[in-house]
Amino acid sequence: MTEATSKLVRSKCAWASALGLLLALGQAVASDTPQSTIHFTNGDWLRGTLAAFDQSNGVSWKHPDAGGVMQFNISRVTELTLDGEAPDALPPGNLCEVMLVNGDHFRGNLTGTTEKHYLLDTWHAGKLQLARKSVRKIAPLPRGLKTIFQGPENDDGWTHGKITNETIGESGNWRYHNGGFHAKPAASIAKDLKLPDRSRLSFDLEWNGSLHLAFALYTDTLHPISLSTKEDEPDFGGFYSIQLNSYSVNLLPVKKHEPLTYLGQATLPGFRNETNSHIEFFASKPEKMIAVSINGKVIRKWTDHDGFVGEGTGVRIVHQGRGAVRIANLRVEEWDGRFQEPPTQQIGAGNDLVKLINNDRMEGMVTGIIDDKLQVKTAEGEFPVPLDRVKQIEPATTKTILDMPLKQRVITHLSDGSQMTFVLDRWTKDGAEASSPGFGKATFRPESIIRMEFQAHLARADIKTIYRVQQGDTINSIARKRGASVQAILKANPSLKPGQLRIGQQVIIPLNN
């Protein structure tokens, strides 16, 4: 679909439930066409450029076919997708992964503490003072481990392959758009990402419909291999195939002239009701081990007792063509063999909990950082703990610390995979001025932001998700898909007319139904 005017374009794509999928899988547009998009509550969307934002005037939007800047009421806008840039590397420091009580997460260098704050230096907003009670977890990352790949920024250097399996359907291509790869038809894309002997590969996954993906790890072949006819394929080295679908994840070692034998399956209860997840693959050649983590929880670890079969350093991603898929924020890093774990301390606890690598625990208060040592005050006294011995810090928190006006909350996604929720006060080309009870006021680099969700108030505690109407949907079919009752859906959507559903229309699915 090519735009010729500034008129809003009504989406006809029945498969799109995630906004990124909706846009990216349309027909290609000219290279000089603006790639940022604004999306509206009725399913319309428009390409262009974000010129400005403030609370009084809403979104100021530019389009090459419009005579001037267009103004949009923020109450009618659901999302902006923007042309972000790859993150800058932070200077060497105490790099940590940070999780807040509302699920936000980002990376930054931990530089110190005050009585009420943790101090961090970030690439996207400079120095931040995080309210202690807003922080769910701080996990120091091992020093000296390299980030080998972070992206994608485009599909340069990636190899597109043709899928020949007749049962999958016509082969297509993965397409790059706004920091991610998107596919609807069956498609393969691969690159030699130089996987190290111990690797951590992570990415954000969005999908609509039935999920069927295969990831080839440690492959030396960039073109797809048909497993059913692998003996007829050109010679290839061994690799591991991680097969992820809506119900389970499987691991399959693949070598030519050797029978296919699954190492085991892990079921994924409730996964079929989701539309996005954060996925991590861990691998260790010395330990002959592969592991999969979903949303921070290790789902399954496999040990290949016959030896590690991966003979290359590449990654191949094959979409089976049974729905729309988006993969973004792909990162490949060296791995030290340690798994991070979800926080276990209850929200509302009165003391900080410091977990050490040797599984010891310290309970008290983190009072500072001196010479790369965490100062921990306990009932027995104050002790310095080297940060490289700390697995994670779980501060004393409160559930309501990050409360902010529901209808002003913006969920912001950054180009390095981070997520931050705040009130967007003002946007100019020089900075995105934001405020939050968690960090006070901060100015974010505009180029660090790739997506902003403006109807974030619909994701409050009593709301499960936002469903986008697809072709052929009825209220009854939506209720069956999402495990909700028709009555609960109608109650959560007072203006919804069951007989007049439109493709792309938003339907709130209540959590407690």
Find out whether 463 and 5 touch, Cβ atoms under 8 Å. Answer: no
**pTM (predicted TM-score):** 0.78
DSSP SS3 for 202: strand
69: left (phi over 0), alpha (psi -120 to 50) or beta: beta
Find out whether 300 and 250 touch, Cβ atoms under 8 Å. Answer: no
> Which CATH superfamily includes the segment(s) 473-510?
LysM domain (3.10.350.10)
d(CA 510, CA 485): 9
First to last CA, the chain: 39
pLDDT of 189 > 80? The answer is yes
Q: What is the DSSP string of 93-126?
A: S-EEEEEETTS-EEEEEEEEE-SSEEEEEETTTE
Bridge partners of 428, per DSSP, are 431
Q: Give the number of other CB atoms < 10 A from CB of residue 191.
A: 20
Give the residue ranges of DSSP H helices in 258-303: none
In this prediction, residue 456 carries a pLDDT of 59
Where in the chain are the domains? 9-81, 95-145+341-394, 147-334, 473-510
In this prediction, residue 4 carries a pLDDT of 29
- Preceding amide of 152 cis, omega within 30: yes
Nearest to 504 by CA among 185, 210, 79, 184: 79
| 352-371 burial code (b ≥16 CB/10 A, e <16) | bbbbeeeeeebbbbbeebee
Amino acid at 467: Y
Tokens representing 381?
């006294």
DSSP SS3 for 81: strand
Average pLDDT over residues 87-96: 86
d(CA 31, CA 127): 36
Contacts for 201 with CB less than 8 Å, ≥ 6 apart: 193, 195, 217, 280, 281, 282, 283, 315, 330, 331, 332, 333
d(CA 43, CA 505): 5
Reported as type and span, the H/E element at residue 135 is strand 135-140
In this prediction, residue 31 carries a pLDDT of 45
**Domain 147-334 adopts which CATH fold?**
Jelly Rolls (2.60.120)
Distance of CA 305 to the CA centre of its chain: 33
Average pLDDT over residues 374-397: 94
What's the pLDDT tens digit per position in 399-455? Answer: 777 777 777 889 999 988 899 999 999 999 999 999 999 999 999 999 999 999 887
d(CA 456, CA 264): 39
- Strand segments, DSSP code E, in 309-404 are 314-319, 323-334, 352-356, 361-370, 373-378, 381-386, 390-394
Tokens representing 220?
């030396």
**Domain 9-81 adopts which CATH fold?**
SH3 type barrels. (2.30.30)
What's the pLDDT tens digit per position in 58-80? Answer: 999 999 888 889 999 988 898 89
pLDDT-derived band at 498 (thresholds 50, 70, 90) equals confident
Place of tokens 């079919």: 477
pLDDT of 383 > 90? The answer is yes
Give the mean pLDDT of the chain.
Answer: 86
pLDDT of 110 > 90? The answer is yes
In this prediction, residue 361 carries a pLDDT of 95
pLDDT-derived band at 511 (thresholds 50, 70, 90) equals low
Average pLDDT over residues 22-34: 46
Instruction: Identify the weakest region by mean pLDDT among 166-170, 204-208, 410-414, 479-483.
Output: 166-170
